[in-house]
Amino acid sequence: MQKAKDLIKIIRREAKKHGTPLMIISKDALKAQYSLFKRFLPDVFPYYAIKANPNPEIIKFFADLGAGFDVASANEMKLVLTIGAKPEKIIFANTVKSDKDISFARKNNVKLMTFDNEPELYKIAKNCPGARVLVRIKVSNIGSLVELSLKFGADPEQALPFILKAKKLGLKPVGVAFHVGSQCTDATNYIQALEMSAAIFREAKQNGIKLNILDIGGGFPIKHFDKDNHINFETLASKIRKELKRLFDKDTKFIAEPGRFFAGPAGLLITKVVGRTFRNNKNYYYLDDGIYQDFSGIVFDHCKYQFNAIKRGHKFLSTLAGPTCDSFDTISQSEELPELEVGDIVYVKNIGAYSCASAVPGFNGFQPAKIILI
């Protein structure tokens, strides 16, 4: 986000001004991630997956940049529409939708949505006649932080029968969607998924249906630690770009659903030590933010974070815990940190996605961090 010295100045300034816990979202980082995506996947239109971080200012920022939005509910749809997103730039990308939410989509002219089972097609046909639908297929999630194919995706051999069924019901089958899993570090997942999708495109064409949209989902990896050495986005994107050109017609429209990739690197969480003790032969620090608040990603996102202290000095094996009266609210039991006192700052970079988004409001009386964009 910033050079170390400048970053410390920002942390001190904003913590003094706003208090802690505090989540800082860098507009420069948001723009940089968007620009990086457009540069290395120029033929792929991004729909920001707002579940990663639905902060209205972030949504407005991406809307102004021209992005589309991936929503999973009527409430998310209402949020992006209220902020000014165009219905034609919204994809209803939940494969299990309620009748009520599908009707809301129809009333608001959101006509592009995904499905992965036959009963869903009946619901869509009933509540949003003529909708444009993408069949989501099950693909490999090997090496991804969060495996999504456990819950979503039709077996590839089911895709064509579903496409034919969609057409029979009066819907408009327009393409294929897949998701290789969140924080994917194995390019093979994308390559295999693209090959399967291309085969479905060919089968549909042979049966008189021309598909023209491919949704490659999200899963693009970011760094959570300074020393992470997994595949970077630039390398991954070059492999994807090559396969898109090889496997699909020039008139195919490519879309994606980046969430973590857009919001993650932009987030900086600032916390303070509010208590300390010596337990189990280790320093034990209680922070003013925890598992029920902005470190919720440790549970729901299987995420690990790099913890940093402003204070310098010899480091000791330490435990970090949140402020609630619950032993489950233990953030980490194996952090190397200098000797800290009550009031000292501990901060985490690259925490803008799946953190404040899944925080519990007010559990045990503790609120998630205040969010500011700078």
Say which CATH number the domain at 339 has: 2.40.37.10
Summarize pLDDT for 7-65 with one digit per residue, the tens: 999 999 999 999 999 999 999 999 999 999 999 999 999 999 999 999 999 999 999 99
Same-domain status, 320 and 199: no
Say which CATH number the domain at 212 has: 3.20.20.10
- Domain ranges, residue 195: 28-264
Domain total of the chain: 2
Same-domain status, 116 and 135: yes
Summarize pLDDT for 191-225 with one digit per residue, the tens: 999 999 999 999 999 999 999 999 999 999 999 99
Closest CA relative to residue 345, chosen from 270, 281, 258: 270
Tokens in use for 4? 């170390």
Same-domain status, 241 and 322: no
Annotated active-site residue 325? The verdict is yes
pLDDT of residue 143: 56
Residue ending a domain, choose from 244, 264, 284: 264
Summarize pLDDT for 61-90 with one digit per residue, the tens: 999 999 999 999 999 999 999 999 999 999
Same-domain status, 166 and 260: yes
Residue ending a domain, choose from 264, 280, 310: 264
Same-domain status, 164 and 48: yes
Same-domain status, 259 and 270: no
Same-domain status, 233 and 307: no
Residue 285 pLDDT > 90: yes
Q: Write down the pTM of the prediction.
A: 0.95
Same-domain status, 12 and 66: no
Q: How confident is the model at residue 142 (pLDDT cuts 50, 70, 90)?
A: low
Same-domain status, 297 and 315: yes
SS (H, E, C) the chain: CCCHHHHHHHHHHHHHHHCCCEEEECHHHHHHHHHHHHHHCCCEEEEEEHHHCCCHHHHHHHHHHCCEEEECCHHHHHHHHHHCCCHHHEEECCCCCCHHHHHHHHHCCCCEEEECCHHHHHHHHHHCCCCEEEEEECCCCCCEEECCCCCCCECHHHHHHHHHHHHHCCCEEEEEECCCCEEECCHHHHHHHHHHHHHHHHHHHHCCCCCCEEECCCCCCCCCCCCCCCCCHHHHHHHHHHHHHHHCCCCCEEEECCCHHHHHHHEEEEEEEEEEEEECCEEEEEECCCCCCCCCHHHHCCCCCCEEECCCCCEEEEEEECCCCCCCCEEEEEEEEECCCCCCEEEEECCCCCCHHHCCCCHHHCCCCEEEEC
Residue ending a domain, choose from 264, 293, 316: 264
In the set 128, 184, 303, 325, the catalytic residue is 325
Summarize pLDDT for 309-327 with one digit per residue, the tens: 999 999 999 999 999 999 9
Q: How confident is the model at residue 264 (pLDDT cuts 50, 70, 90)?
A: very high
Q: How confident is the model at residue 150 (pLDDT cuts 50, 70, 90)?
A: low
Same-domain status, 255 and 270: no
Same-domain status, 273 and 298: yes
pLDDT of residue 140: 66
Residue 146 pLDDT > 90: no
Q: What is the mean pLDDT of the chain?
A: 95
Summarize pLDDT for 217-232 with one digit per residue, the tens: 999 999 999 988 888 9
pLDDT of residue 141: 63
Same-domain status, 254 and 115: yes
pLDDT of residue 4: 82
Which residues have a Cβ under 8 Å from the Cβ of 365 and sit 6 or more positions away? none
Q: How confident is the model at residue 1 (pLDDT cuts 50, 70, 90)?
A: very low
